Chains A and B, each alone.
Chain A
């Protein structure tokens, strides 16, 4: 039995560019099959196995669906329509893990030197300094700001090592966005997101997404860079025990570097967004 809190949220179910006419594409959402197709009029429909249409929002290159009654509109991402940005769909990576673990890993910086060695981090530059985390009640999002980290190659367009500034944002239960130093524009942030489709509690499709100021790097290289990073993450995500994300303190041991993860877990728990989470230990 899935709670209304979970059902009334928005989840990505595919890339807009990959939706075709009936019979369309069969996929899954929260353990149930759904089919996505375009109508003769060009509208995109997401419907259940019994033919019931789900609420749909098309945004940020992706199809978003709500299996219940939407509790609110899909989160805003103004950078997606900002002139000069390149929007890059990076395809999809299927991961045998909880969708919540995939989001939590995206929010984590301390793993950069060990998982994305010599790209997003490198020893001995492992220290994570204190940063600020808040739950912004007015938008009901988790934000981490003033995050700084040394990176040997922060982006495809970065020539060498730089201290990168980050902001992290949990915009939906299974969608997160980060804002990081743009190597080409000191007055702007590069925007990278992951939109996670919860197929089941222990299986998800992850869609990386980028909105960058980079007119030079070929598209294939941008996608390859992001896919390489995410495949490195997958080797972690498929080997965490348990698969489900523990929400209760005691199962896992956070430190100050994990404040974003702590806030994310607290936010999920408080809002009853426990699909993919480990229930309270007996």
Chain B
């Protein structure tokens, strides 16, 4: 049982001071990496005026809302309100936080209460993420050479280019689509693996359309 963890991207795609949107079971998220490297995931809504925090900007260990510049620390509490620079914001003003685990090159997001760990995908390197306009089941059906090692992980050897590549696809459900976060065995031809993924997407999407 891997619990409620959802892979929301590859670590390599979220640089320091970067912010990106994410999703956890239908809730929109703002996922960001502080200058120190620490990743946080919050509900994508500033409590002040409802602006998406995924449009915000990172300075050091804080994320600021793009609308009025309200500054939040990595624990989600509001640290500074620029319209009232001398005021200490009440502790009740906070972004709703989720748990984040960076593991095996993946950014996993779970509920604040999650006590278990995300599924392990050890010994592999990140290839890329690719969005496929299809369901989890349709993606899985298009890659019969892969087997599910966890509900969201498909793993196995595929023929990519001249050689076989050990691949792991970590699937993230997203409204109307599935995001495939792909990792490959060390030393694999990453370009060939990437092309294999594009072929997979074409196959799945043309099958869905037909």
Interface residues on chain B, number (Cβ under 8 Å): 23
Cα distance, A114 to B70, chains bound together (Å): 10
With beta carbons under 8 angstroms apart, the residue of A113, A239, A257 that contacts B84 is A257
Cα distance, A253 to B65, chains bound together (Å): 14
Please tell me if B85 contacts chain A, counting CB pairs below 8 Å: yes
Please tell me if B156 contacts chain A, counting CB pairs below 8 Å: no
Please tell me if A140 contacts chain B, counting CB pairs below 8 Å: no
Known pairs A115-B67, A236-B67; A253 contacts B48 (CB<8 A): yes
Please tell me if B14 contacts chain A, counting CB pairs below 8 Å: no
A113 lies within 8 A of B82 (CB): yes
Known pairs A236-B66, A236-B67, A241-B45; A110 contacts B82 (CB<8 A): yes
Please tell me if A137 contacts chain B, counting CB pairs below 8 Å: no
Please tell me if A25 contacts chain B, counting CB pairs below 8 Å: no
Cα distance, A246 to B49, chains bound together (Å): 9
**Residue among B28, B64, B68, B87 with max Cβ neighbours from chain A (10 Å):** B68
Known pairs A113-B69, A114-B69, A242-B50; A255 contacts B81 (CB<8 A): yes
Of chain B, the residue at the smallest CB distance from A254 is: B48
Of chain A, the residue at the smallest CB distance from B56 is: A114
Please tell me if A256 contacts chain B, counting CB pairs below 8 Å: yes
B84 lies within 8 A of A255 (CB): yes
B83 lies within 8 A of A126 (CB): yes
B48 lies within 8 A of A126 (CB): no
Cα distance, A20 to B93, chains bound together (Å): 52
B83 lies within 8 A of A236 (CB): no
Which residues of A, 10-63, contact B by the 8 Å Cβ criterion?
Answer: none
Cα distance, A255 to B70, chains bound together (Å): 11
Residues of B within 8 A of A111 (CB): 67-68
Cα distance, A253 to B96, chains bound together (Å): 14
Residues of B within 8 A of A257 (CB): 68, 83-84
**Residue among A239, A242, A256 with max Cβ neighbours from chain B (10 Å):** A239
Main SS class of interface, A:
loop
Contact with B along A62-75 (1 / 0, CB 8 A): 00000000000000
Residues of B within 8 A of A115 (CB): 66-67
Please tell me if A138 contacts chain B, counting CB pairs below 8 Å: no
Please tell me if B101 contacts chain A, counting CB pairs below 8 Å: no
Residues of B within 8 A of A123 (CB): 69, 82
A252 lies within 8 A of B69 (CB): no
Residues of B within 8 A of A255 (CB): 48, 81, 83-84, 87
Of chain A, the residue at the smallest CB distance from B69 is: A114
Nearest chain A CB to B79's CB is how many angstroms away? 14
A-B contact pairs, 12 of them (CB 8 A): A110-B83, A114-B68, A126-B85, A236-B51, A239-B55, A240-B49, A240-B51, A241-B50, A242-B50, A253-B93, A255-B87, A257-B84
Given A126-B83, A239-B52, A253-B48, 17 other A-B contacts at CB below 8 A? A111-B67, A114-B66, A115-B66, A128-B83, A128-B84, A236-B66, A236-B67, A240-B52, A241-B45, A241-B50, A242-B50, A253-B93, A254-B48, A255-B81, A255-B83, A255-B84, A257-B68
CB-CB nearest 10 A-B residue pairs: A126-B82, A257-B83, A110-B83, A128-B83, A240-B50, A239-B52, A114-B69, A241-B50, A110-B68, A241-B45
